């Protein structure tokens, strides 16, 4: 498909939300989004992500939800947030996301560099919020290719008549997501590679620290 045709389809998709933006919830699993750079070879910019999302969901700020772990390092007594975590939360707040966060766990693992691996799954938090806020939205836009949330999505779509749209990188899509697309539980699967012109971080923009 030509680049022009792809962008026409993207414009049509965005335009289709024109009359339903106030009844759309966006779930950004930023821990998953952050990993996309490994295959994309470019990084999703939080400001540009917010600009795209505003075209899809323009209701309450509470419906534009940003989930990410607070990294205080491996010492449980540490109260010093890492510089990267501070910058991520500052940019998310500046771009009017509703932030949901919890502390990153460091689990001992002798096979990993530094003898630790990080863990901060937020599927439970996202599931609870989707169910708790179900009367406030009709459409779900999910930025995550993680299949773990699909059980909850299947339940919500099947029982409450919601529609779900998933954004993911092609090499970061769980089998469960593909299964839900085939079952028509996920209305549409969109590939972020096609949105590079809207989402790619400008390396010259962030020259300062938060």
Q: What is the pLDDT of residues 45-70, one digit of tens each?
A: 999 999 999 999 999 999 999 999 99
Task: Provide the pLDDT confidence category of residue 209 given band limits of 50, 70 and 90.
Answer: very low
Residue 95 to residue 83: CA distance in whole angstroms: 18
What pLDDT score does 208 carry?
A: 38
**Averaged over 183-200, what is the pLDDT?**
96
Please, what is the average pLDDT of the chain? 91
| Confidence band for 29, pLDDT divided at 50, 70 and 90 | very high
What confidence score (pLDDT) does residue 75 get?
A: 81
CATH fold label, 17-199:
Rossmann fold (3.40.50)
pTM value surpassing 0.85: yes
Q: What is the DSSP string of the chain?
A: --HHHHHHHHHHHHHTTTTTGGGEEEEEEHHHHHHTHHHHSS-B-HHHHHHHHHHH--S-GGGEEEEEEE---S-TT-----HHHHHHHHHHHHTTPEEEEEEPEEEE-TTSGGGEEEE---HHHHHHHHHHTGGG-SEEEEE---GGGHHHHHHHHHHH--EEEEEE-TTS--HHHHHHHHTTSEEEEEEGGGGHHHHB--TTT--S--
Give pLDDT, residue 203. 56
Residue 206 has pLDDT above 60, yes or no: no
Could you tell me the pLDDT band of residue 107, with boundaries at 50, 70 and 90?
confident
Work out the average pLDDT over 67-86. Answer: 89
| Of residues 58 and 75, more confidently modeled | 58
């Amino acid at each position: 498909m030509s680049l022009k045709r792809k962008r026409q389809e993207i414009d049509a998709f965005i335009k289709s939300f024109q009359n339903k933006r106030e009844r759309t919830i966006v779930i950004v699993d930023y821990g998953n989004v952050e990993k996309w750079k490994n295959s994309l070879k470019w990084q999703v910019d939080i400001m540009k992500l917010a600009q795209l999302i505003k075209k899809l969901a323009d209701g309450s700020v509470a419906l534009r939800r940003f989930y990410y772990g607070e990294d205080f390092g491996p010492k449980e007594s540490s109260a010093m947030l890492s510089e990267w975590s501070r910058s991520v939360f500052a940019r998310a707040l500046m771009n009017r996301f509703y932030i949901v966060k919890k502390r990153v766990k460091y689990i001992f693992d002798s096979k990993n560099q530094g003898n630790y691996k990080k863990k901060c799954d937020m599927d439970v938090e996202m599931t609870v919020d989707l169910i708790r806020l179900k009367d406030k939205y009709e459409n779900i836009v999910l930025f995550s290719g993680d299949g773990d949330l699909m059980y909850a999505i299947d339940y919500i779509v099947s029982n409450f008549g919601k529609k779900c749209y998933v954004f993911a990188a092609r090499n970061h899509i769980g089998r469960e997501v593909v299964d839900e697309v085939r079952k028509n539980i996920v209305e549409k699967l969109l590939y972020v590679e096609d949105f590079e012109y809207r989402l790619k971080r400008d390396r010259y923009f962030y020259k300062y620290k938060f």
